Amino acid sequence: MKVLVPVKRVVDYNVKVRVKSDGTGVDIANVKMSMNPFDEIAVEEAVRLKEGGKVTEIVAVSAGVTQCQETLRTAMAIGADRGILVDTAEELQPLAVAKLLKALADKEQPQLIILGKQAIDDDSNQTGQMLAALLGWGQATFASKVVIEDGKATVTREVDGGLETVALPLPAIVTTDLRLNEPRYVTLPNIMKAKKKPLETVKPADLGVDVTPRLKTLKVSEPPKRSAGIMVKDVAELVSKLKNEAKVI
């Protein structure tokens, strides 16, 4: 069984993002970029399924600028067998990514596609759902446990206030939540091995997909600055301030 794992190159989660002075977006010049953390969990899950004998091939896919090759190499260092870069400098919105992935799924015929539940840069949480709709496949989002058996996936989902377990026939879409697994550290030998794994490059036009943005970002702004805190002498003063100044109790 083949698994497709889409991996997005995003601003590293440790970086404090800065909004551009003209409010048109986030400044990514000279900023550390990494694989979207939920996608690392997706690759790890695919690798565990392969180690468990359920999966024979893992194909990582990244859409974006040429540097996404690094993200694909990381996926291959975790254990993906090969990578596909959809090379474009266009801004890619979730619908465009879903269409690209649909075209690749038609070509590659995977039985399972594991995506992150959301990309930490745009926080859209849309691509997996749109892809499931375009393919006409079942989807299990926010997965915290995935079991593949007898041609079906049994997925435990993190829902408000608890867990829900669903079964869906393959092929299917799964999106990962934080608690699904803890991705392994990539080791130097595996980074070296990843350099030799096959990496194919295609353009959106090769897949017959028009990636023109459908949404226009009007403005991006930073959250309001927090005002400085103050020290209080004792609990009595704290209670008095909370009551009379902050008026929260």
Rounded distance, CA 244 to CA 247, Å?
5
| Residue whose CB is nearest to ligand AMP in the complex, by number | 116
Would you say 203 or 243 has its CB closer to ligand AMP?
Answer: 203
Task: Verify binding: residue 126, ligand AMP, rule CB under 6 A.
Answer: yes
Among 34, 50, 59, 62, binds ligand AMP (CB under 6 A): 62
Report helix, strand or coil for 56. coil
Considering only the stretches 20-28, 57-65, 179-187, 191-199, report the one whose residues sit in contact with ligand AMP under the rule CB under 6 A: 57-65
CB atoms within 10 A of CB 135: 18
Task: Verify binding: residue 125, ligand AMP, rule CB under 6 A.
Answer: yes
Tokens 């889409």 sit on residue: 6
Q: In the window 4-23, what residues touch ligand AMP (CB under 6 A)?
A: 6-8
CB atoms within 10 A of CB 55: 21
Would you say 55 or 60 has its CB closer to ligand AMP?
Answer: 60
Would you say 125 or 190 has its CB closer to ligand AMP?
Answer: 125
Rg, Å, the chain Cα set: 21
Read off the tokens for 209: 């997909």
Among 64, 83, 183, 204, binds ligand AMP (CB under 6 A): 64
Q: Are strands 112-116 and 2-6 parallel, antiparallel or unpaired?
A: parallel
Rounded distance, CA 241 to CA 235, Å?
10
Binding footprint of ligand AMP, residue count (CB under 6 A): 23
CB atoms within 10 A of CB 72: 26
Task: Verify binding: residue 119, ligand AMP, rule CB under 6 A.
Answer: yes
Tokens 């393959």 sit on residue: 170
Q: Greatest CA span in the chain, whole angstroms? A: 70
Binding pattern to ligand AMP, positions 181-200, x when CB under 6 A? Answer: --------------------
Residues that bind ligand AMP (CB under 6 A): 6-8, 36, 38-39, 61-64, 92, 94, 97, 115-116, 118-119, 122, 124-128
